[in-house]
Structures are given as structure tokens and as C-alpha cells.
Structure 1
Amino acid sequence: MPSVSDNPEMVPDLQNVSETKKRNLTSLLPSLLHLPKNVYLLLFFTTGKGMQLTIATLTVNLYAHSLGYHPDFIGVFSAMPAIGAMVAALPVGLLADRWGRKPVLIISAILTPLFLMALGLVTSAPWLLIFSLLQGLVSTAYWVTNLPLLTESTTERQRVGVLALNSFLLLGVGALGNLLGGAIPEFVGHALQVSADSTVPLRWGVITAAIFTLVFGLPLWFLHEPARTAEKKAKPSTELEKPEETVAVSRIQTVKLFGKLLLPDLLFTMGEGAVVALMQLYFVLRFQLLPGTLGIIFTISGLAGGIFSLTAPLFVRRWSKLRIITTVQYLSAPLMLLIGFAPTLPLAIAGEYTRSFARTLIEPVYAAFAMEQVSSRQRATLSGLYSVTWSIGFSIGPTIAGWLQTQISLSASFVFGAFCLLICPSVLLFFFGRRKSGRIEGNSPGVV
């Protein structure tokens, strides 16, 4: 291949490209530095939400275990928030469209910490399940309203950068909550002269998670409801001009395509839910770790995984999205087995870190792949359905995992998770592996 020096005519082109990139960068940075007040308020709340999620993830299941409950109950207990989210997603979305995003988000910011605090105070099984379900119900409002509010509060140039920053604050910075989730029970246990994994220290960990949501949610009162353009509900003219038979066939094709996209995602979330939801409890039961050590382990995992996810565009430039997704999922299956059967703690940690890196790498790639398979007017529907499959997967997965850990062994849940992660990419390849481009009626080509 000839070099640039061999062809002088190529030099000005490269210089123009370089100058264009510099101009785009210099015009993009000010747009991200001068954001509307709404964006700063929402990003601030996202930071607190991320901290709340990681502190609660670390302490809530351990709190239930300190009360004497076994993994089979804790598996059902862990599934309650996902069940609540599945039940509430559509009603909360309709409510937000009618009342506005701001009041619904504020109500969630008030009720979520109240129910979470109540969860940390009760001890009986029925009340634990009830408050876990209610906490999942009201928390749904954040997932339903946050991204639309950010989208409506930003310009097209700002939007991608702001959404990426929101994701990093939730998953990356939020991972620091693991440190607090481990340190608080250690501190309280030392002050009370009791073990850090006993009920009272862990209760304070759950209460701290609730306080984070409450405090970081206070500035939301200053949020302004963005003006939204009413969408026309009439069918597109191109669809009205088609014969009824053609429209019916198009709808059937759409339903089939949605099924092909959602079935693998359901399998994936079942496998992830079976492992991730009970991961902290597994490390405690298998290696007798205290909350402080556990917090450090998962803080490093979350931060490193969040940073590693930023490399996803580099992989997409080299390989197709489908190849990245399926390869990572196939590799994740033996990693789950490694964690579940690791004879030593360092080996289990190495497996968990590698699994976490792989998981965060394909998160944006999977989303982009799915959105590219459908037309722009179908993407909102598909996104909502993905929320449902996530809720179902993280309801069924932990329930099965808890039963397997109680009735068979701690490692059995990892076998189930690995099996799901082997089936998922196989189904994806069966549906999309032979396609060079995906097109349904009115779609743009899918990049596979």
C-alpha cells in the first residue's frame, strides 16, 4: 500500500480531515460544559441513585441472611424489585405522560428511600417481601423518566455525551457505593463490639442506601418540566396507502422480529440474574468474607468495568456487533463456571472481574445492535419490551438460583447461568447469523 509521502495529493485531504475533527471537538466541548440546569440536577440524582443501588445490592441480601433466611428465600426476595418494576413500568410511563415527568420522578425520589428504610427495619418474611416489592414499584419511575428528561433537556449535539456521562455516573462512580456498603457495617460493628455481618450493622448499611436517594433527590424540586412536542397518533401515510393484507403481513413480520430480539435477551437476563443477584451472598457463604472486604472487591470490579466499557467503540470498528456480542457471551459461560467452582478466593475474584469487564463491554453494543434491527418508530416500543424481559429475567433467574443453592449446592446456580449464556448467543446466531442486513417493512438496514 503506498504511503502518504508517495502521494502528495493525499496530504491536503488528511490535513482537512484533521482540522475538521479539531473543529468538531472544540465545538463539542463547550456544548458539554454549558448544559441546562435540568441536566446537572438529573446527573446529580443519578450519582446518588448509583450509590444507593450498589450499597443496597451489597447489604440487603446480607441483611436478610443475618436474620436467618436461607438462599431459597433470598432468591425470591431478590426477585421482588424486578417483579415490581415489571408490574409498574407501563402504568408509571402512562402516568408520567399525563402528569409530567418531574412530579413522577419526585414521588419516586421520596417513596424509594422510605420503602428501602422500612425494608431495613422489618424482620419478618412477609414484610421483607412486601417492602422489597414496593421499593421496586416506586423505583421504576427513575428508569422511566430519567432518560426522556435528559433527552428533552439537551440538544442533539449534547445528547450522546450527556447520556454516556449519565451511564458512567450510574455504573462507574456509583460503584464507589460498594466501599461504603462494606465500610459502614464494619464501622458500626466495631462501635457496638459485634460482628460486621450481624443484623444491626447491616441494617445501618441498608438505611444509608436509603439516605443517599433522599438527599440526592432533594434538588429535583428545582427541575423544570421540558416542553414536549405532541406526537401525532395517526398512522403514517405510507401505511394508510397499503392494502390491509400488506399491513397485516408487515405487523406479523414485526412481531416475529421482536420475538427474535427479545427471546435471546430473556435468556441472557435469566443467566445474569441467576448469578449477579446473589453474587455477594455467594462470596460470603463460600469464602466467609466480611462486608468491608466484599465492598472493596466489588468497587474495583464496578469501576474497572465502567472504564472498560468506554472501549466498546474500538471493538466495533474492528468486528461486527453480532460477533462481539456472541463471542463475549460464549466466553462468559466458562467464566461463570470458574467463579462457581473456584477453589480459592483469588481465582474466584479473577473470574468475576473478567466476567464484569466482558458484561460491561457488550452492554452498549447489544443495545445498538437491537435498535438497528427495527425502524425508528419501533425503537421506543422495543426499548419498553426490553425493560419487561429484564424484569422477567431478573425475577426468574434469582428465584431458580436461590433454590439451586439451597437444594443442590452454591455452585449449581452458576451452572444454570452458564447454560443460559450458551443458549443465548446460539439463538442470536440462528436468527441473525446469516443476515448481511436486516430489513423489515420501513426499516433501515441492520448492521450485523
Structure 2
Amino acid sequence: MSDLFRGYNLRDYDENVRRFFLFGIPLFSGMMIQSLLYNLYLTRLGYQEDFIGQMAGLAPLASGLFAVPTGIISDRVGRKPFLLASAAVMAVTQIGLCTVTDRSLLLVFAFVAGTSGAFIWVNHVPFLSENAAPQRRAQAIAIWMSIQALTRMIMSLLAGSLPDLMGHLADIGTEEPEPFRYALYVGSALCLVAMLPLIGVHTKTSTRTTQEPGTTTAFPWRTFIAFGAISICRGASMGFSFPFFNVFFQQALLLSTPVIGGVFFLSQVVAVPSTVLAPAIARRFGQIHTIVPTRIVGSLALVLLGFSQSLALGLACFLLTTIVEAITAPTEMTYATQVVPSAYWARMQSLRVTGFQIPAGLASLAAGFIIVEYGYWATFVLAGTLRMVSAVILFTVFRGKQIEV
């Protein structure tokens, strides 16, 4: 039992890492409010899934386009400026997104908001890898993702009730956009609060300036290409599915906003222990043997979700896909830092973010039109198929490269 929770004592980490964990709590809270409520807000403005798909697609496109420049510059100036910028940009753009209603301005704000994704997702793994001891990297990443899951769990429950609260305070029905707009302002404020813990972070000289064994060898093209292909498949899969889960529950299963919040709450209830146990599972079975079969199961659940017509089946499939992602995502992140020399960490993370976000954006753009034309089943089948392909690529390329964790 002690082995399962090895490395989860926060005193094992320096002040920078602990401050980074504190940064995540309000940031993920603001992100969860936006994620749960914004598409529902757009439906109350009269927009359909095709426009929602365009909005959902622009943010990851921007993240993907800015990922490589962000990685290059952050190697020179450090991670802290970009982490601060991620919270600031997120807050300002969220205010814009829930204040203006003009179609063109909404698209502009959605694109600018996406740059914050590049700032945070390119730098979170390098920051933790540089500030945590090598034997604690897997646990540091797992703690970070557990904070994300736990925060999303709590906020999904609270955020689902926020429009009702705002509507009661303003004496406006929740069929109108205003209660959702006021609730989204709360998310913007939380993103600003997230900047406070980062102010005390001490900038460190990157440990990657010191040559380590293996960095004198040829550039690991095969590894980079493989992770690029895996990220493309995972990103497109996410774009075809994730932005539409809340609208799917509302439109296809006819759930109310508080019930949708409850569904997302349950998904995070199962995600937290899955993320915490992921390093122990990887130690027991190996990273590849953990990721591949688990991801295949998740892909099948995602396909089945598209054909669900009852809450029970839809909830079961949704929870299973959440568990799979909670186990496989941190395991893959840690594995990527172990098979690539530290001199290439930022470039690898930039590649993974670019490879993930641009296909996610393009898939979201296409998904909105596919849903209007064919229904949700078509996009969820595409999402599940692509997720399975990512597992096949990972197994084919890395099956002989198990790393001690």
C-alpha cells in the first residue's frame, strides 16, 4: 500500500513546485467554469453546433501555432513569464468571450484565448521536470493532474449551479444568456487569482544547460515522429468529442445544466484516484503495457457513447473514457521525458502540444458541421477510432522500450 502512494508527500518538493500546485487550483477552477458553461451560453445566444464547433476549434489551433515559438523562447527566458501570461490572457479573453455577442469578435477572442493554452501546456511538464527530483517527476506530474481532476470535480458541481444562483440574484430565468454570462465572469476572476502564487516562484537556471549522457547522439527523429503522430491522433480524437460532451448531454440526452454539472462531477470523482494510482500501475505493468490496452478500452467506450440513448449507458461510457484518460495521459507525459534526453524536453513538449492542438482545432471545426448533418454518433466514432490508432502507434514503436519508474 505504501508503494502505491510513494512520492505524494508535498514536503518532498521545493517551494517552486508547491507554488505551481497552488497556481493550478484557481486556474483549473476558472477553466472548468468556462468548459462547462460556455457552450451552453452560446446556445442561449441562438448559436448552433456548427458555430460552437468553430469557436471550439480556434482555441486549440492558436495553441498549436504558438506552441513551438513558446517552447523556444521559454528555453531562453524561463517558464515563469509564460505561466503568468497564461492566467492573464485566459482571464481577459474570458471576459471578452462572455461580454461581446458579435460573431466575428467572438471568433477573434476564441483564437486569442487559445494562446494561453500554449503558454501553460508547453511549460508545465518542463517546469515540473526542472524543479522536481528525477525520482519524483512521475509523481509531480500525477499530483499536478490530480489537482486538475480534483478541482474540476468540485467546480463541475458548483459551476452547474452557478447560472441558477446568478439567475436568482438577478431575477432572470436560466433560459436567458445573462445568468450564464455572470457565472462566466466568476471564472475570469479565478484566473486572475491564479497569478498570485506564481509571483513568488524563483527562476532557476535550466538544468538542461548541462550536457547529459545521450545528448551528443543524433537527434531522436524516430521518437519525435512517433510522438508527433500519436499527438495528432489524440488531438483529433479530443477535438471530435470533448468540446461537445456538455451539448451532447443537453441536446441528445435532454439533461439540465445542474445534472450536466453532476455528470462532470462524477467524471472527476473517478479521475482523481485513477491519476494518483497511475504511477504505481505503470511501475507494476510498465508504461506501454499500461497505456495501450487501457486506451483501446477507452476508444471503444467513446464509440459506444455516440450511440447512447439513455443516461445510464451514456454515463458509464463517459466515466470509462475519463478513467482511461486519467491513467494514460500522465503516464505518457512521464514516459516522453524518460525516452528523450532532457536537452530536448521543451522541443518534445512543443511538438506534442502542436501535434495535439492543431488537429484538435481542425477536428472541432469539422465536428460541428458533422453533428448538424449526421448526428453525434459520427464524431464519436471518429474520435474512438483515432484514439485506438494512437495506441497502435505507441505499441508498434515503443513496445521494447520499458523504462524503470
CA-to-aligned-CA distance 1:196-248 (integer Å, 9 cap, x gap): 24311111222111111112323433333234457269998965xxxxxxxxx
Q: Is the 8 A contact 2:63 2:357 kept in 1?
A: yes
Preserved CA contact (<8 Å) 1:51 1:175: no
Amino acid at match of 2:376: L
**Alignment partner of 1:48 is 2:26:** yes
1:317 Cα deviation (Å)? 4.6
1:285-300 counterparts in 2 under 5 A? 285-300=251-266
Alignment correspondent of 2:116: 138
Write the deviation string for residues 144-167 of structure 1: whole angstroms up to 9, x where unpaired.
444444444445566554443222
Q: Does structure 1 retain, via aligned residues, the 8 Å contact 2:60–2:117? A: no
Would you say the 8 A contact 2:121–2:353 is kept in 1?
no
Q: Distance in 2 between matches of 1:400 and 1:176?
A: 32
TM-score by length of 1: 0.80
Label 1:230 to 1:396 Cα distance change in 2 as closer, same or farther (>3 A): closer
Q: How do residues 177-326 of structure 1 correspond to structure 2 at under 5 angstroms?
A: 177-228=155-206, 231=209, 250=218, 254-326=220-292
Q: Hey, what's the Cα distance between the residues in 1 that align with 2:94 and 2:62? A: 14
Q: Which amino acid aligns with 2:112?
A: L
| 304-313 or 221-230, which deviates more | 221-230
Q: What do the CA deviations read for 1:331-385 (whole angstroms, capped 9, x no partner)? A: 2233123222112112211111112112212223333444454445444432221
Q: Is 2:138–2:334's contact at 8 Å kept on the other side of the alignment? A: no
Q: State the match for 2:60 in structure 1.
A: 82
The aligned length equals 403
C-alpha contact 1:50 1:175 (8 A) present in aligned 2? no
Extract unaligned runs of 5+ from structure 1.
1-17, 240-249, 439-444
Q: Report the counterpart of residue 296 of structure 2 in structure 1.
A: 330
Which one of 389, 396, 407 corresponds to residue 373 of structure 2? 407
Code of the residue aligned with 1:278 in structure 2: it is F
RMSD: 3.1
**Alignment match, 1:9:** none
Amino acid in the other structure paired with 1:105: L
Match 2:39 to one of 52, 55, 61: 61
Using the TM superposition, give the Cα deviation of residue 77 of structure 1 relative to its aligned residue in structure 2, in angstroms.
Answer: 0.6
Alpha carbons of structure 1 residues 238 and 213: separation in structure 2 relative to 1, 3 Å:
closer
Distance in 2 of aligned mates of 1:210 and 1:291? 20
2:323 counterpart residue number: 357
Q: Take 2:207 and 2:341, find their aligned partners in 1: how far apart are those partners? A: 20
Q: Structure 1 residues 47, 372: closer, same or farther in 2, change over 3 A?
A: same
- The CA distance in 2 between the partners of 1:156 and 1:419, in whole Å, is 35
407-416 or 191-200, which deviates more: 191-200
Deviations 1:60-119 (A, max 9, x none): 111122111111111121111111111222333344344443333333332320111111
Query: For the Cα contact (< 8 Å) 2:86–2:116, is it kept in 1?
Result: yes
Partner Cα distance (1:367, 1:317) in 2: 15
Rounded to whole Å, the distance in 2 between the matches of 1:312 and 1:226 is 29
Give 2:332's aligned residue.
366
TM-score where L is the length of structure 2 = 0.87
Greater length-normalized contact order (CA 8 Å, ≥ 6 residues apart): 2
Structure 1 residue 305 displacement after superposition: 1.1
Partner of 2:94: 116
Three-state SS of the structure 2 residue aligned to 1:411 is helix
Distance 1:402 1:82 in 2: 15
2:80 maps to which residue?
A: 102
Equivalents in 2 of 1:200, 1:140: separation in Å?
30
Higher CA-based Rg: 1
Aligned pair 1:167/2:145, yes or no? yes
Q: 3-state SS of the aligned residue for 2:376? A: coil
| In structure 2, C-alpha distance between the alignment counterparts of 1:155 and 1:318, rounded to whole Å | 21
Q: Aligned partners of 1:419 and 1:153: how far apart in 2? A: 37
Q: What percentage of aligned pairs have identical amino acids?
A: 23
Segment of structure 1 superposing worse, 422-431 or 403-412: 422-431
Task: Tell me the secondary structure at the aligned position of residue 342 of structure 1.
Answer: coil
Distance 1:116 1:331 in 2: 35
Distance 1:69 1:171, change over 3 A: same
Note closer, same or farther for the CA distance 1:191–1:221 as it changes in structure 2 (3 Å cut).
Answer: same
Q: 1:324 to 1:33 in 2, by over 3 A?
A: closer
